Amino acid sequence: MSARIFRYGVLTVLGAFFLLPLVAMLEFSTRGGLGGGRDFSAWTSIADDRALLEAIATSLQLAVLTSALMLVLLLPTMVWVHLRLPALKRLLEFLCLLPLVIPAIVLVVGIASLYSWVTFFLGNSALTLIFVYVVLVLPYAYRALESGLAAMDLRTLSEAARSLGAGWGTVLLRVVLPGVKGAVLSASLLAVALVLGEFTLASLLNFPTLQVAINLTGKRDAALSIAVSLAALLLAFGLLLALSALVGRTRRSRAAPPLAPASQGDPS
Amino acid sequence: MVAGAFVDDAGGLTLDNVRTAASGPYLTAFVRSLQLSAITAVVGAVLGALLAWAVVTGAPDGWLRRVVTSASGVLAQFGGVTLAFAFLATVGFEGLVTVFLRDRGIDLFAGGAWIFELPGLVLVYTYFQIPLMVIVFLPALDGLKPQWLEAARSLGGSSWTYWRRVAGPVLAPAFFGSMLLLFANSFSAYATAAALVSQGSPIVPLQIRNLQTSEVVLGQQNLGRALGLGMVLVVVVVMSAYALLQRRTTRWLQ
C-alpha cells in the first residue's frame, strides 16, 4: 500500500517538474503586451518568418536525406558482415559506436578544416551536413538495425532465396528489407529526430538549420522562439509516440528499446 | 585532431597547447564541467531510476509507459536548444515562475543571475538527464524476474529484504553504468549550454566554441584541439568503465 502511495508521489512530483516548463512556454509565448491578456501573435508569426521557414525546410531535407543515406550504407554492410564476414562484426560494432565517445563539440574541432574542402568541392550548401549527420546517427541506427537483424533467421532465409536463383539485390530488397521493416522504421525515425534536433555541428559550421534558426530568433524575439521550440518539442513527441505505437504493434516480443543509446550493447 | 593538439601554429611539435589546456581558465572550465556532469549524473540517475520504477510497475503496454518513454526520448535526444528556451520561459527574468514569485515578494534572482551560470545549467541539464536515465534503466528493470520476488517472499523475506538482497545487487551494475552514461552525456552536451549562456564560457564545450568562433584569440589555433583531446580522454575513461559494468549487468539481466 505504501509502495502505491510512493509510486503516485514520484509520478506526481516528477510529472509536475516536467510539465511546468512546457506550461511556462505556452504561457510565455501567448503573453499579451502591457495590456495583459492572451495574444497568439507569436504563434501566427511563425508562418511569416521566412528565415525560420527556410530553416525548417532545410532541416526536413537533411533529415530525409540522412536517413536514406544511412540505410543505403548501413543495411547492406550489416547484412554482408552477418553472412560473410562474422569475424568483422566486433569491428563494425566498434566503428558504429565510436561517435558516442566523441562529443559533437569535439567532432566540430576535428572536422572544421575538412569542411572547407567539402565546401570547395560541393558548394556551400547546408545539405553537405548529411555526411557528418550520417556518422552521428550511426550508433543509434546500428543498434536498431542490429536488434532487427538478430530477430530474423538471416542465414537460412538468404540461402533459401539464393538457392531459388535470387541475386543479392533481390535478397536485400525482397527478403531482408521486409523482415526488418520495424527496425528500419525505428532507425530512420531516430535519425530524423536526431537531425531535426542537432545544433552543435550546424551552428559551428555556420549552416542555418532549424535549431540554429530557433537560437538566432531567441536573440530578437523571445516569444516567437519559445513558440517554435514548444511546437518542435510537441511535434517530436507526436512522432515518437506514433513510432512506439507502430513498433509495439509490429514486434510485441523482444522489443529492444528504440531510443536507448548503448543501453544493453557492450561497446568493448 | 589528436595530431593537431601537439602542433604549434608554425607546424612544429609542441606540448604548449596541452599545457595551456590544463591550466588557468581552461582548467577551471574542466573542473566546472566535471562538477556539472557529476551532479547532474547523480541527481538524474536517482530521480530517473525512481521514475523508471514507477513506470515499470504499471501495465507493460499501458499509455503511461508509452507516453513517458516517448517524452523521455524527445527530451533526452531532441531537446538541445529548445530546452534552454523552456527554462528561460519558466525561471528566466520574465519567466512564469519568476513572475509568480515576484508578485508574492520573492526575488528568485536575489543571489545573481544564477540561471546563466552553473546552477542554471544543473537545473536545465537535469531536465534531460532524468529522461535519459529512464530510457537506459527501463530495460534493466524489465529484466527483473517476478520469480525472484516470489522466491524471496516464499522464503519469508519482506519487500525490503527483496530490494536489499536481491533486486538491489542485481540492478547495481546497471544503475551505476547508466550513471556513467549520464555523466558522459552531460559532459559532452553543448547545445543547451550554448543557447542558455551567451556570454562567458563556464564549461569546456563553451570554451571550445569560443576558440572556434572567436577572431581575437591569436596564436592558439590548436588549443581547441587540445581541449577536445581532453574531453575525449574523459569520455573514453568513463565509457570504458561503463563497458566493464555492462558486462556485469548482462550476467543476470538480459
User: Are residue A141 and residue A207 in the same domain, yes or no?
Assistant: yes
- Yes or no, beta carbons of B205 and A100 under 8 Å apart: no
The CATH number assigned to the domain holding A233 equals 1.10.3720.10
pLDDT surpassing 80 at residue A69: yes
Q: What is the pLDDT of residue A204?
A: 78
User: Are residue A140 and residue A176 in the same domain, yes or no?
Assistant: yes
Q: b vs e for B145-158, b when ≥16 Cβ sit within 10 Å of the residue's Cβ?
A: eeeebeebeeeebe
- Yes or no, beta carbons of A106 and B246 under 8 Å apart: no
Q: What is the pLDDT of residue B111?
A: 66
Q: What is the pLDDT of residue B172?
A: 81
Residues in CB range of B91: below 8 A, 6 or more apart: B97, B98, B108, B115, B120, B123
Q: Is residue A44 domain-resident? A: no
Alpha helices in chain A (DSSP H): 2-29, 41-44, 50-83, 89-101, 104-122, 130-151, 154-163, 168-170, 177-179, 181-197, 200-204, 210-220, 222-250
Q: Whose CA is closest to B122, among B161, B91, B159, B148? A: B91
Q: Which residues of B touch A219 (CB under 8 A)?
A: 198
User: Are residue A163 and residue A65 in the same domain, yes or no?
Assistant: yes
Domain count of chain A? 2
pLDDT band (50, 70, 90) for residue A37 = low
User: Are residue A97 and residue A13 in the same domain, yes or no?
Assistant: no
Q: What is the pLDDT of residue B109?
A: 67
**What is the ipTM for the molecules in this complex?**
0.73
Q: A135 is in which domain, residue-wise?
A: 50-250
Q: Is residue A256 domain-resident? A: no
Q: Which residues of A touch B67 (CB under 8 A)?
A: 241
Distance linking the first and last C-alpha atoms of chain B: 38
Q: What is the pLDDT of residue A18?
A: 82
Using CA atoms, how far apart are residues A5 and B54, in angstroms rounded to an integer?
Answer: 11
Span A189-238, pLDDT tens digits: 778 888 888 887 887 777 888 888 888 877 777 778 888 888 888 888 88
Shortest CA distance from A247: residue in chain B: B66
pLDDT surpassing 60 at residue A265: no
Query: Residue B69 in contact with residue B135, Cβ under 8 Å?
Result: yes
Higher-confidence position of A237 and A262: A237
Least confident range of A10-19, A49-58, A213-222, B12-21: B12-21
User: Are residue A21 and residue A55 in the same domain, yes or no?
Assistant: no
Cα B225 → chain centroid: 23
Q: What is the pLDDT of residue A258?
A: 46
User: Are residue A117 and residue A179 in the same domain, yes or no?
Assistant: yes
CA dihedral A213, A217, A223, A227 (to 10 degrees): -10
A231 interface with B at CB cutoff 8 Å? no
User: Are residue A137 and residue A191 in the same domain, yes or no?
Assistant: yes
Q: Which residues of A touch B244 (CB under 8 A)?
A: 268
Mean pLDDT of A54-83: 85
A222 interface with B at CB cutoff 8 Å? yes
pLDDT band (50, 70, 90) for residue A259 = very low
Q: What is the pLDDT of residue A36?
A: 62
Higher-confidence position of A183 and A134: A134
User: Are residue A23 and residue A113 in the same domain, yes or no?
Assistant: no
User: Under CATH, to which class is B4-252 assigned?
Assistant: mainly alpha
Q: Provide the number of CB pairs (under 8 Å) joining chain A to chain B.
A: 223
Using CA atoms, how far apart are residues B115 and A224, in angstroms rounded to an integer?
Answer: 21
Using CA atoms, how far apart are residues A110 and B1, in angstroms rounded to an integer?
Answer: 5
Provide the shortest C-alpha distance from residue B231 to chain A (in Å).
Answer: 8
A55 interface with B at CB cutoff 8 Å? no
- Yes or no, beta carbons of A193 and B74 under 8 Å apart: yes
**Scanning the structure block, which residue is given the C-alpha cell 553537405?**
A128
- Yes or no, beta carbons of B73 and A248 under 8 Å apart: no
Q: Is B168 left (phi over 0), alpha (psi -120 to 50) or beta?
A: alpha
- Yes or no, beta carbons of A199 and B79 under 8 Å apart: no
Phi, psi of A85 (to 5 degrees): -130, 55
- Yes or no, beta carbons of B228 and A109 under 8 Å apart: yes
- Yes or no, beta carbons of B74 and A23 under 8 Å apart: no
Average pLDDT for consecutive 10-residue bins of chain B (254 residues)? 59 64 71 82 87 78 77 77 81 74 71 72 84 82 78 80 79 82 82 74 74 62 74 82 77 63
User: Are residue A131 and residue A20 in the same domain, yes or no?
Assistant: no
Look over chain A and give the mean of its residue pLDDT values, rounded to a whole number.
77
Q: Is residue A185 domain-resident? A: yes
User: Are residue A10 and residue A125 in the same domain, yes or no?
Assistant: no
- Yes or no, beta carbons of B135 and A108 under 8 Å apart: no
Q: Residue A251, class by beta-carbon neighbours within 10 Å (0-12 exposed, 13-18 middle, 19+ buried)? A: middle
Q: Could you state, in order of their start, the residue ranges of all structural domains in chain B? A: 4-252
- Considering only CB atoms, A266 lies closest to which of B83, B187, B246, namely B246
